[in-house]
Structure 1
Amino acid sequence: MKKFNIYFLGLLSALFVFASCEYEGIDPITEVDPGPDQGAPQVTIMSPADGNVIKVIDEVSSIVIKFGVEDDIEVAMIEVLVNDNVIATMSEFMDYRIVNREVVFDNVTNGEHTVTVRATDLEGNVTSETVNFSKEPPYTPKFENEYLYMPFDGDYVDLITLQSSDVTGDLSFAGESFGGSNAFTGSPDSWLEFPFNGSVGTEFTAAFYYKVSGDPSRAGILVAGADENRTQGFRLFREGSADEQRIKLNIGTGAGESWNDGGVIDVNAGEWVHVAFTVTESQSTIYINGNPVNTGNLAAPIDWTGVEQLTIGAGGETFSYWDHKYDSSALDELRFFDKALSQDEISNLINASAETLSLSFDGNYQDAASNRQITAVGNPGFTGDAAVGSNAYAGADGSYLTASAEGLTSSKLSATFWYKVDATNDRAGILVMGPEDTDNPDAQNKRTQGFRLFREGNAEEQRIKLNVGTGEGESWNDGGVIDVTAGEWVHVAFTISGTETVIYLNGEAVNTGTLSAPIDWTGVDMLSIMSGAPRFTGWGHLADTSNMDELTFFNKVLTEEEIASMMAQ
């Protein structure tokens, strides 16, 4: 009992001490008059950005609306509207002066849209802020008369009609690609079937990239037939050996058939080859890498009677005889056109198809080549001035763009862009695709994989340099110098082949570097644009405050003539 009384008295003493604290230097909470209302609330919409474009396969998608509202006295109500329809209303806030919220809208359809955030304070002052955004189909035809496009980037969808192929058997993807992130490959007793009734017309073109396999020794590639008689539709197939395969074409003309013995692909080269064939009412032509290799005459136009589907990767139900069964080759970037393309048009198609990333920076970071997701770090902006188009990227301290490296890591690579250099920082990263340096997380500088394009110099001149990792070593190209004081747009390009690198300024080759081995992409999963961060910071190559326009990547080595042509466009 004595012990309990001691504890009780101690507790009372503590309470008295606590109650008297306001007299020991701690002020009590007192109400402060906020004064008169100075004006309407301030509204900021962080997402979507004005002019943002959504491109997804889904016909209806979602968008996250991020916004902030501030008022000098108290926010009474906030309304969020999409296309002038209220989708959310809120009036209770943890902090009545500063509100940051997110609202998800799940009914975004194709077309133009507006997001409005309307805030009202206690005095009835109202502020509205509106941004515009749009949703577009995942792919807008890039070429005239384009009828079908299948990129095979993890699905079997035609991006023009959004129709899916039916899968027969057990198919997987190639795990490699010419463009994008993946490619089609067949397997035993397996193929794709796509609705195809001949509405492409009697004159048409098919084109694709192909890494041929000699196993099995013969296979169907693209087949659109009505039955096994070969008098309707067409059959594109291959025959040969483990060393070479001949691409052939058979066309049904109703009362008969036409044969085109095509041309040969070297299996051992293991390279992506562009294959195309054109059909007119009187002849067919097969092209390999843009060159016509053989022509076949047609006694009559192609007959589409009874043709209902296109079989991809096998002879299918109408052409499996003669052992034209599944094709284990890799096939990518399949396109059909409802006209017979000329040789020049096929060459242009090849050049355009080699684009793997294309950023015009005309007020947004939309990748026109493959709809790649681009992420902004920090606060990069736009110039209001451009080398081409209406706008360009404006660099800022601590700011840059990132994108997935998927589909960019080819053995042959080129990149081009316009550049107006700012030497406020005497060195900076421009384009970096390197692995994470886990041994030096705060000063990353692992240079045995990927590449690093950067600049170094002073307030008067900056040298553009390139470093390429070859697995066990690295290669340096000391590039060329840009005059900072000129304040002009300069066209910059570089190419990487299996043996060398070349840097071009304004269309002229300024330096060449030798590679002891091809570029090694091990561990490379990210592209940084206009900064060395986060993978190339060890030597202070941080954000670039320069301006950039019309950035394009290619999975081929551009020639000097091609670079000069792009510069002149």
Structure 2
Amino acid sequence: MKNSKYKILGLLLIFVLASCEYDNIDPITKVDAGADAGSPEVEIKYPLEGTTIKVIEETTSINIKFEVTDDIEIDNIEVMVDGNTIETLNEFTDYRIVKASVPYDNLANGDHTVTVKATDMAGNTTTKTVNFSKEPPYSPKFSGEIFYMPFDGDYTDLVTLKTANEVGDPGFTNDAYLGTAAYKGAPDSYLTYPLAENFLGEEFTAGFWYNVKGDPDRAGILVAGADQNRTQGFRLFREGSADEQRLKLNVGTGTGESWNDGGVLDVSNSDWVYVTVTVSPTESKIYFNGELMNTGTLTAPIDWTGVEQLTIGSGGETFSYWDHKYDSSPIDELRFFDHALTKEEIQNLISASAVTLHMPFDGDYKDVAYNREVTVVGDPGFTGEGKIGSNAYAGALNSYLTLPSEGLLSTEFSGTFWYKVHSDPDRAGIIVIGPEDTEHPNAQNIRTSGFRLFREGNATEQRIKLNVGTGSGESWNDGGVIDVTADSWVFVAFTISETETVIYLNGEAVNTGTLTAPIDWTGTDLVSVMSGAPRFTGWNHLSDTSFMDNLKFYNKVLSQEEIQAAMSE
């Protein structure tokens, strides 16, 4: 009976197949693939040409991503790093399209190449190579810079990649001058950093941002001593009251010591002050915000005999006998230099410290100031030549950049960039740091925090405007008009203080807006560049097809003179 059922099913199948022919439905037939028409196509997805990888680790791992296509069949794919084969692939699920990711470990600092070589069954070969590099997370920005500790969540010197030792339980404060955090002392707590031989010579400079506190009423700040005799190394410390603190410097000269009574800081104003200490073979100087406070005389150069470590945030083991112990004052952006900086160099250092973001757009979308992670949305491009440098950002439809706002938000804020405006579309977001509107995800428009810099107009002119959220309200600045038909680069700057906003075009103030309260940053965790999306779309301020170059953010209100100086760079 069972066999009879199978026979009946077989007859039915033959009948169905025959019916298909009569219904003008062709049966499946084998198709000759034909002759191989060309070589495989290779696209390396990551790393891209010019990619720079910056991590603290001396070696790191990457995933090499690529796509290979062929008109007939791929035979094998060879993946190489710096000319050495790391993987050969010859088994594929799809023999015409291969998308793969190959891991590579132990990538060291330096310039590198990734090569993907694909061969098809006919022996045709295509080879593609990209150049990329791995760099330390920081490259010294200033002449003679030998030490840089930004205190952004760790105690690593980014020049040497050495990490300080923790004594007790030191910590961080989010109320930083620059970046995401600053050093914050605690009772019986400080850092020690081992000093290599000849790390500091007869001439050096130490500079840092400092927010002085009056409790305790005395503390060590930076100390490098051999013992408790004060005849070697140096001691920077503070003494005073709850209202004012005097910063002083003691330098050991081998057989004696030199004193510099420095200057007084007002505890009550809670302002960050840039403290600079310079030591030469004949004198020491203490500066506050680039202004000389006092000079001390050295009868002989500083003596480093027996000095093995630097203590940060305390007098430590060699200078606690006068109760100069832990410092509760936040410290940020600590640097050392191998020479005594001039007043002009110190002022340049202070000005550079105010830059929190710098995107030159020279063929990539990097933040060269602090290497922030930038996300590319859509398909923006480059102009091929820039107003500053070798290239500039070229906007495209539904395309823009985003990055985290952490470390960029301050009560005072400025932004500058070169801009060549286009009028299609007739309105667009330029820079937006705004909160998410979860109730209106497709038309977001909360304006009570953050800011929105955008343009509106027509085919012949576009007006640059600024909206700032103050918590319970908003402030408007109607800015100024750019002539679209001129097709020229314009230097755009805007500043936000606690009481007003100012928009500048080519170094000239074009309009001022009043703030009833300082800017409110609630919920503003994302920065958008060259679009209102995704946080300012309710009025159709979407992607900007204009050109942008040399974008910078600052944690201060730039003066007109500073804006004009930035324009002249």
Q: Which amino acid letter does the alignment assign opposite residue 544 of structure 1?
A: D
Residues 266 and 67 (structure 1), Cα distance of their counterparts in 2 relative to 1, 3 Å cut: same
- State the alpha-carbon separation in 2 of the partners of residues 538 and 531 from structure 1: 12
| Residues 198, 307 of structure 1: 8 Å contact kept | no
Cα gap change, 1:186/1:38 in structure 2, threshold over 3 Å: closer, same or farther?
same
SS in 2 for 1:322: coil
Q: What CA distance in whole angstroms lies between the structure 2 residues aligned with 1:351 and 1:544?
A: 30
Q: Deviations over 1:142-167 (max 9, x none)?
A: 11111211111111111111111111
- 2:408 match: 408
2:563 partner SS: helix
Larger deviation: 488-497 or 296-305? 296-305
* d(CA) in 2 for partners of 1:112, 1:203: 34
The residue that corresponds to 2:39 in the other structure is 40
Judge which range, 333-342 or 8-17, deviates more.
8-17
| 3-state secondary structure, aligned to 1:566 | helix
Structure 2 equivalent of residue 83 of structure 1: 82
In structure 2, the residue matched to 1:386 is: 386
Q: Aligned in 2, Cα 1:206/1:444: closer, same or farther, shift over 3 Å?
A: same
CA distance in 2, matches of 1:560, 1:10: 95
* Aligned position for 2:282: 282
- The alpha carbon displacement at 1:16 in A equals 7.2
Give the TM-score normalised by the residue count of structure 1.
0.95
Partner residue of 1:257? 257
Q: What CA deviation, in whole Å up to 9, does each residue of 1:316-343 have, x standing for no partner? A: 0011122211111111100111111111
After superposition, give the CA deviation of every residue in 1:80-127 in whole Å (9 maximum; x if it has no partner).
111111111112222222221112211211111111111111111111
What is the match of residue 484 of structure 2? 484
Query: What is the CA distance between 1:31 and its match in structure 2?
Result: 2.3
Q: Is the 8 A contact 1:221 1:315 kept in 2?
A: yes
Which amino acid in structure 2 is aligned with residue 99 of structure 1?
V
DSSP 3-state at the match of 1:445? coil
Q: Within 5 A, what are the aligned runs for 1:87-486?
A: 87-196=86-195, 199-486=199-486
Amino acid of the structure 2 residue aligned with 1:368: V
1:306–1:73 Cα change, 3 Å:
same
CA distance in 2: counterparts of 1:178 and 1:315, whole angstroms: 23
Structure 2 CA distance for aligned equivalents of residues 549 and 385 of structure 1: 10
2:567 is the alignment partner of 1:562 = no
C-alpha displacement at 1:49, in angstroms?
Answer: 1.3
Partner of 1:351, secondary structure, is helix
Letter in 1 for 2:293: V
Letter in 2 for 1:127: T
Match of 1:500 in 2: 500
Distance 1:266 1:38, change over 3 A: same
CA distance in 2, matches of 1:10, 1:239: 104
> Which amino acid letter does the alignment assign opposite residue 326 of structure 1?
Y
CA distance in 1, matches of 2:76, 2:406: 44
Aligned partners of 1:310, 1:213: CA distance in 2, in Å?
22
Report the residue type matching 2:562 in the other structure.
E
Q: Distance in 2 between matches of 1:251 and 1:419?
A: 51
Q: Secondary structure at the match of 1:520?
A: coil
Which letter maps to 1:167? E
The answer to whether the Cα contact below 8 Å between 1:412 and 1:557 also exists between their aligned partners in 2 is: yes
2: CA distance, partners of 1:527 / 1:567: 23
What SS class does the counterpart of residue 498 from structure 2 fall into?
coil
The unaligned stretches of length 5 or more in structure 2 are none
RMSD of aligned alpha carbons: 2.0
Please tell me whether the aligned partners of residues 147 and 200 of structure 1 are also in contact (alpha carbons under 8 angstroms). no
C-alpha distance in 2 between matches for 1:203 and 1:517: 47
1:126/1:239 Cα in 2 relative to 1: closer, same or farther (>3 Å)? same
Residue 135 of structure 1 aligns with an amino acid whose one-letter code is K
- Which secondary structure does the structure 2 equivalent of 1:321 belong to? coil
Give the CA deviation at 1:175: 2.2
Identity of aligned residues (%): 65
- Report the Cα offset of residue 422 of structure 1: 1.6
Residue 198 to residue 130, structure 1, CA distance change in 2 (3 Å): closer
Q: Find the aligned partners of 1:185 and 1:328 in 2 and give their Cα distance.
A: 6
Structure 1 residues 318 and 459: CA distance shift in structure 2, 3 A: same
Tell whether the 8 Å contact from 1:417 to 1:552 is kept in structure 2 after alignment: yes
Aligned to 1:70: 69
- 1:75 and 1:269, CA in 2 relative to 1: closer, same or farther beyond 3 A? same
Q: How many residues align?
A: 564
Q: How far 1:32 moved relative to its partner?
A: 2.2
Q: Which residue of 2 aligns with 1:50?
A: 49
3-state secondary structure, aligned to 1:511: strand
State the distance in 1 between where 2:472 and 2:260 align. Answer: 47
Cα offset for 1:10? 10
2-structure distance, mates of 1:230, 1:521: 47
> Alpha-carbon deviations, 1:216-249, whole Å to 9, x = none?
1211110111111112111111122222222111
Unaligned runs of 5+ in 1: none
Q: Is the 8 A contact 1:43 1:127 kept in 2?
A: yes
Shift in CA distance, 282/376, structure 1 to aligned 2, threshold 3 Å: same
1:210 partner amino acid:
Y
Deviates more, 1:383-392 or 1:242-251: 242-251
Shift of 1:275: 0.8
1:533 aligns with 2:560: no
Residue type of the partner of 1:145?
Answer: G
With structure 2 as the length reference, what TM-score do the two structures score? 0.95
Note the C-alpha offset of 1:18: 6.9
Q: In 2, Cα distance between the equivalents of 1:411 and 1:216?
A: 28
